[in-house]
Chain A
Amino acid sequence: MKKVFVFCIGGTGIRVMKSITMLMASGMSTNGYTVVPIILDPHMDLEEKKNLHSLIDLYETIYKKTIDNGTSTLNPLEGFFNSEMQTIGEINNQLNDTHQAVGSNEKFRSYINMSNLDTKDINNYFVETLFSTKSLNNPLSVGFKGNPNVGTVVLGEMIEQADWFKAFKIHCEKDDRVFIISSIFGGTGASGFPLIEKKIRNASQQPAVKNVIMGAVTVLPYYGLKDPSTTGSDIDSTNFYTKTKAALAYYDKNIKSDYLYYIGEKTLRQVYENDEAKQEDTANFIELIAASSLFDFLKREKPATQQFLSRAIEDDKESMSISSLGSGYNDIVKCVADYMLLRHLIDDVPNESFFPLVKNRGLNSAFYKDQPFQNLKKFTDIYFKWYHELATNKRAFAPLHYDDHKHMAGWIKHMELDAKDDSYYLLEMIKASNAYKDKVHSNKFRFFLQFAYDAINYYTKKLEV
């Protein structure tokens, strides 16, 4: 199986990977590639990072269940959870989490052995010119606090020594790909992206790594942070554009990715709490669009020359729907609409005691109480929260009317679906089950997802046209 190693650098990398996971769950295809996420963030206790690890684990568990046929495996499903995801640890047959090696509690001052320098040493003055006292005293476990100059020094060595990078170099084979996600206006992402890319292109001992088809998405400033003078934070979002310009000037000459996607906003529409330690930022439209670039990249062949890509929207609106997004976004809207409909069925079907699939496919109360379905429910709860955040953020991604279950024809705004209420989907699920005569497996969980997708797709496929 061909793989795409997805390096998710910094907070933005983590949030974009979350969107990638959600889109994969919704049925977005990776074109046969197994996604191998590698999360690179020195924050050791970042809740968002832990949550992403849990989400990926949950996705994998669900995916594995869909292809489980006892002693053998089935082909991936069409629709929901159709693509495989594996951690680098699993590929390397390691049970421990190889991502943990990225962070360290050491202070930056100690990391660069500054104590070895005499206070009157000219090198000492040079270091103090390049790095602020705050930066020098920061422990590396809390990230680089928007300082790419610190990140550049630390990450290079961290990457080279990390188990996951060694594992990546061993397991990256011909036909595999690399995709790097980072922001350009922070510390970790801005410094990590060129470093990783350089490490890969310089891997002359491993030709498959050196020549790998590489794509990257660089997220331009898309949110602001509250005034640091009131919060005591070290990060000032008024510097974001200056940092971006500086980084872009560097990228212009030094970035060698085959495809480079630039995603950003024209203005900083949302202002978050300025808390580097927590980074409890809600899901953002820009992260979703950045996530879509991975799927675009996986459809493309190796280009003759380096390609720079971006995405535009039809109408500059506060809340985006299919009409303001433009038809180019129909695949994303369809995926999200499909999964939100699946959520509805997940809530609905267990209460249908006379639903024919209870008898025909064994989808009884024991099935709904069983772990696989409970995992799906758990994933779906996270999905709903994610969509709700997207739909209420600035700018909002809110193409759905998902709260009126009696009038579901308007499920997708500015569009009329033929399904007037949920019974239309339930009926199509029954029809899909009746039409499916294959006796290859008796995987009930797969049946549920397969028939639910067939039912939903029957009504939403008009979005593909």
Chain B
Amino acid sequence: MKLLKLYNWFAGSKSDFIESFRENEKLYMQAKNFWDKLDNLSIFIFLIFIVLGISIAAYYYKPYNDKPGRHYTLGHWVFFLFVTLIFVFVVTFGFEYFAVKPTIKGATWLEAKIAICNGLYAVVMYFFTSLAWCNSNLPTNACRIFKK
């Protein structure tokens, strides 16, 4: 499943990326190859934000709020939101870096942009998981901030 299209709005499209190598056939082919390899692994990139977005929210609502320290406050929830953003960025970037080594110019930046975008998606995932958790019967000692 090729899902890199989901990141085009931030990281740019395949053509945007490979067009810059049009002058050099070898690099052009390497860029095309690089993109395709990344696109083939995009399902994993996609899963990273989903799994981590949900997991971090779940960790916040259960184990973290089972411990003392006024963890129910908005400040702690926001802190975990930033944790989600940074953690997902690091994991995504690390995965990309080791899965498809960026050997051509601009490839590292492309992977970074996809990782940033993935972090943002994870934040949205974290938010929606929180929304669902607050409005469901799932147990938590946290404040159900988004409860209607």
Contacts and interface: CB of A to CB of B under 8 A. Distances in A.
A423 B145 CA distance: 19
B141 A360 contact: no
A431 B73 contact: no
Interface string B110-148: 000000000000000000000000000001111111010
Which of A354, A419, A430, A434 gathers the greatest number of chain B CB atoms within 10 Å?
A354
A355 B139 contact: no
B68 A421 contact: yes
B70 A356 contact: no
Q: Interface on chain B toward A: helix, strand, loop, or mixed SS?
A: loop
B72 interface: yes
Contact of A354 (B67, B74, B139, B140): B74
A360 B70 contact: no
A355 B144 CA distance: 9
A359 interface: yes
B35 to A, nearest CB: 45
A359 B148 CA distance: 10
Given A354-B73, A354-B74, A424 B143 contact: no
A352 B70 contact: yes
Contact of A356 (B69, B74, B143): B143
B145 A430 contact: no
Nearest to B77: A354
Nearest to A435: B139
A358 interface: yes
Contacts of B74: 354
Interface in A416-433: 419-421, 423-424, 426-427, 430-431
Contact of A434 (B68, B73, B139, B147): B139
Contacts of A421: 68
Contacts of A424: 68
B68 A423 contact: yes
Q: Interface on chain A toward B: helix, strand, loop, or mixed SS?
A: helix
Interface string B56-74: 0000000000111110111
A354 B72 contact: yes
Which of A355, A420, A426, A427 gathers the greatest number of chain B CB atoms within 10 Å?
A427
B141 A430 contact: yes
Interface in A392-433: 419-421, 423-424, 426-427, 430-431
Contact of B145 (A354, A360, A427): A354
Nearest to A360: B144
Contact of B68 (A355, A360, A427): A427
Given A354-B73, A354-B74, A359-B147, A431 B68 contact: no
A354 B69 contact: no
Contact of B143 (A358, A423, A434): A358
Contacts of B68: 419-421, 423-424, 426-427
A359 B69 contact: no
A421 B68 CA distance: 9
A240 to B, nearest CB: 51
B142 A356 contact: yes
18 contacts: A352-B70, A354-B72, A354-B73, A354-B74, A354-B143, A354-B145, A356-B72, A356-B144, A358-B143, A359-B143, A419-B68, A420-B68, A423-B69, A424-B68, A427-B68, A427-B141, A430-B72, A434-B141
Interface of B: 66-70, 72-74, 139-145, 147
Given A423-B69, A430-B141, 19 more contacts: A354-B143, A355-B72, A356-B141, A356-B142, A358-B143, A359-B144, A359-B147, A360-B144, A419-B68, A420-B68, A421-B68, A423-B68, A424-B68, A426-B68, A426-B70, A427-B66, A427-B68, A427-B141, A431-B141
A-B CB proximity, top 7 nearest: A423-B68, A354-B143, A424-B68, A430-B141, A354-B73, A427-B68, A356-B143
